[in-house]
């Protein structure tokens, strides 16, 4: 942390657009320093009492946050905190801590810290992805409990002042969801890439966010003025008065533009030459459902169900049925595409033991986990099939890489139906079944897959990572991660062409669908259905309404023939700037 007043600029990756101006809150997950090591023998009883009280306080606090997240963002995300509560209230950890106080006369903070250190070591040595999240959960609890025991200030993400910019090395999904949209003006994360989970949640919450800023969070002091430019991927620490004024003016223009877009949000998404484009919503948090409806989404193009599994307990068929049917009902008469659990990679579950993997994104992930845990998978399929009686639910399979997988899923779907029939439960007999096209093998063989699926959904976040061999969440190689790379565009084109030839609907639900710079290109590549974060719908619709489909096709052909992603981006900037004068102003 620094005490300088010098103006510093950090370049990073823009993951959620907009300009945020506010005062810094540096979130540091370091455990507090323990100064009080021992207690006198006659005070041991009191010390244990104190420890129990603090655990209760911390538990109450986590429950309060859980309630708040449940009401603001939905039960799925709130369940993340059950994991923390289970850890906090783990009787064996409590007992071992109390034994240390009792027998060794350690202070409660020393005893608890030692105990948690052992737990962290045990998890850390297993070295698998999902346990990494548990280590961070422990660090979170450690911070909350030890700070209280040591009499320090608990740096909480959920009770920040108004107009705060949060800067951290990284944030877990459980931490991201605690950020209160009304108070937080922006987020800066030193780690991470554009497609990391934290980034996706930031977009869902519509928080201007820049990631991959190296050591920016170390160079700021609490209270420093910070500007987060989510459009350009820049962070300004302690800007001078002139710089601040310039950004405030830009922000005003942005707000005016948002208001303007809001007034026009009911206009249809039709190109100048009359081509209709379906804009659907990606839904990760519950508040997005209302936003999707407000912004005129024609359904939900992808609902990520992973959040239901980020818990210590598996969601039952009934619990899932409730969530899915409520979602489907709220969107009637529009379809809701529900993606089956896509765990593994950077999506961590507390309930599934994922063995150590050198390359988690190439390992036990998505449909591979589902097929290896058929009972778990069929529980979800039954809930989905039942929800299909409440409106139009469609099933979307993640991480498919071969036809064998798809065929095995079909067998399980039939088994799930038989089970429902036997139990006398009503379900949708003809629920549509589609696949994510996010592994290049599927794009290359789309014609073959088309015979056996009802629809394709292009997952360009992973398609980019697998086509370019770049870890989507790693800041070190983030400069190579580029969905505009002509190789990715060629894969998209193959799928769009195949869809047209075989009459198979193709949509795109990767983050690229919400980038207005990509809109012309995607339409030109032949896509007429985009699924995106609902907050981004108005901006993308504006581009659609300004372009000619014929011109978009020409632009896409030009891009396909280019050498690099940078050339493609520059070309799109130039082209879009021509027919949308405000496009250039947006960045000034």
For Mg ion, the binding residues (CB under 5 A) are 438, 459, 462
* Annotated catalytic residue within 14, 431, 509, 559: 509
Q: Out of Mg ion, ligand PEP, none, which partner does residue 509 contact, by CB within 5 to 8 A per kind?
A: ligand PEP
Distance CA 185, CA 19 (A): 8
397 Cβ contact list (under 8 Å, min separation 6): 339, 340, 366, 367, 370, 405, 406, 409, 433, 434, 435, 436
Question: What is the DSSP track for 57-113?
Answer: HHHHHHHHHHHHHHHHH-HHHHTHHHHHHHHHT-HHHHHHHHHHHHHH-B-HHHHHH
Q: Out of ligand PEP, Mg ion, none, which partner does residue 510 contact, by CB within 5 to 8 A per kind?
A: ligand PEP
Choice between 120 and 365, CB closer to Mg ion: 365
* Sign for the pseudo-dihedral over CA of 453, 454, 458, 461: negative
The nearest distance, CB 459 to ligand PEP, in angstroms, is: 3
Q: Out of ligand PEP, Mg ion, none, which partner does residue 136 contact, by CB within 5 to 8 A per kind?
A: none
The nearest distance, CB 29 to ligand PEP, in angstroms, is: 25
The nearest distance, CB 461 to Mg ion, in angstroms, is: 5
Burial of 19 (0-12, 13-18, 19+ CB in 10 A): buried
Choice between 196 and 504, CB closer to Mg ion: 196
Choice between 111 and 396, CB closer to ligand PEP: 396
The nearest distance, CB 186 to ligand PEP, in angstroms, is: 22
Task: Please tell me whether residue 267 adopts helix, strand or coil conformation.
Answer: coil
Residue 197 annotated among the catalytic residues of the structure: yes
Tokens of 227: 């500007």
Choice between 227 and 343, CB closer to ligand PEP: 343
The nearest distance, CB 335 to ligand PEP, in angstroms, is: 17
Residues in the chain: 588
The nearest distance, CB 388 to ligand PEP, in angstroms, is: 22
Tokens of 71: 């009401």
Question: What is the DSSP track for 468-496?
Answer: HT--TT-GGGGGG--TTSHHHHHHHHHHH
Distance CA 457, CA 455 (A): 7
* Annotated catalytic residue within 14, 197, 216, 350: 197
534: Cα separation from own chain's centroid: 14
Q: Out of Mg ion, ligand PEP, none, which partner does residue 304 contact, by CB within 5 to 8 A per kind?
A: ligand PEP
Residue 509 annotated among the catalytic residues of the structure: yes
Q: Out of Mg ion, ligand PEP, none, which partner does residue 460 contact, by CB within 5 to 8 A per kind?
A: ligand PEP
Q: Out of Mg ion, ligand PEP, none, which partner does residue 109 contact, by CB within 5 to 8 A per kind?
A: none
Choice between 47 and 462, CB closer to Mg ion: 462
Burial of 25 (0-12, 13-18, 19+ CB in 10 A): buried
Choice between 106 and 449, CB closer to ligand PEP: 449
**Which residues would be at the binding site for ligand PEP (CB under 6 A)?**
195, 304, 342, 438, 459-462, 509-510
Instruction: Report, as residue numbers or ranges, the catalytic residues.
Output: 197, 509
């Amino acid at each position: 942390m620094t005490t300088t007043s010098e103006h510093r600029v950090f370049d990073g990756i823009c993951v959620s657009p907009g300009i945020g101006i506010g005062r810094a809150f540096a979130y540091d997950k370091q455990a507090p320093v323990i100064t009080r090591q021992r207690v006198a023998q006659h005070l041991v009883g009191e010390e244990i009492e104190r420890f129990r009280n603090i655990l209760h306080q911390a538990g109450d606090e986590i429950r309060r946050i859980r309630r708040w997240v449940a009401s603001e963002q939905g039960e799925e995300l709130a369940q993340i905190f059950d994991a923390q509560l289970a850890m906090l209230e783990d009787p064996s950890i409590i007992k071992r801590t109390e034994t240390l106080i009792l027998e060794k006369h350690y202070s409660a903070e020393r005893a608890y810290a030692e105990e948690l250190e052992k737990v962290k070591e045990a998890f850390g040595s297993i070295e698998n992805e999902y346990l990494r999240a548990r280590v961070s959960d422990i660090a979170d609890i450690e911070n909350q409990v030890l700070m209280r025991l040591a009499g320090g200030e608990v740096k909480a993400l959920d009770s920040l002042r108004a107009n705060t910019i949060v800067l951290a090395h990284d944030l877990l999904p459980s931490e991201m969801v605690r950020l209160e949209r009304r108070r937080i003006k922006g987020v800066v994360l030193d780690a991470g890439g554009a497609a990391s989970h934290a980034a996706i949640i930031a977009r869902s919450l519509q928080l201007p966010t820049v990631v991959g800023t190296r050591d920016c969070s170390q160079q700021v002091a609490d209270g420093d003025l910070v500007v987060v430019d989510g459009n350009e991927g820049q962070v300004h620490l302690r800007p001078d008065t002139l710089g601040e004024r310039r950004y405030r003016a830009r922000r005003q223009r942005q707000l005016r533009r948002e208001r303007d877009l809001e007034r026009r949000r009911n206009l249809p998404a039709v190109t100048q030459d009359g081509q209709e484009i379906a804009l659907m919503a990606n839904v990760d948090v519950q508040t997005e459902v209302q936003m999707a409806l407000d912004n005129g989404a024609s359904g939900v193009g992808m609902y990520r169900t992973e959040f239901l599994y980020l818990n210590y307990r598996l969601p039952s068929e009934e619990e899932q049925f409730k969530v899915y049917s409520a979602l489907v009902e709220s969107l009637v008469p529009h379809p809701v595409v529900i993606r089956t659990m896509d765990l593994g990679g950077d999506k961590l579950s507390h309930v599934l033991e994922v063995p150590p993997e050198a390359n988690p994104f190439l390992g036990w992930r998505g449909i591979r986990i589902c097929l290896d845990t058929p009972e778990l998978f069929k529980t979800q399929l039954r809930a989905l099939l039942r929800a299909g009686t409440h409106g139009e639910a469609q099933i979307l399979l993640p991480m498919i890489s071969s036809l064998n997988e798809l065929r095995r899923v079909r067998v399980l779907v039939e088994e799930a139906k038989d089970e429902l029939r036997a139990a006398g439960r009503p379900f949708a007999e003809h629920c549509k079944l589609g696949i994510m096209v996010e592994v290049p093998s599927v794009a290359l063989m789309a014609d073959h897959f088309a015979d056996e699926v009802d629809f394709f959904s292009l997952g360009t976040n992973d398609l980019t990572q697998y086509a370019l061999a770049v870890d989507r969440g790693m800041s070190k190689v983030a400069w190579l991660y580029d969905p505009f790379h002509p190789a990715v565009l060629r894969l998209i084109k193959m799928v769009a062409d195949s869809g047209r030839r075989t009459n198979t609907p193709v949509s795109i639900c990767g983050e690229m669908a919400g980038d207005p710079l990509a809109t012309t290109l995607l339409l030109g590549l032949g896509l007429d259905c985009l699924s995106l974060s609902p907050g981004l719908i108005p901006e993308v619709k504006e581009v659609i309404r300004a372009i000619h489909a014929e011109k978009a096709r020409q632009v896409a052909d030009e891009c396909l023939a280019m050498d690099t992603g940078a050339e493609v981006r520059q070309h799109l900037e130039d082209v879009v700037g021509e027919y949308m004068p405000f496009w250039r102003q947006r960045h000034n």
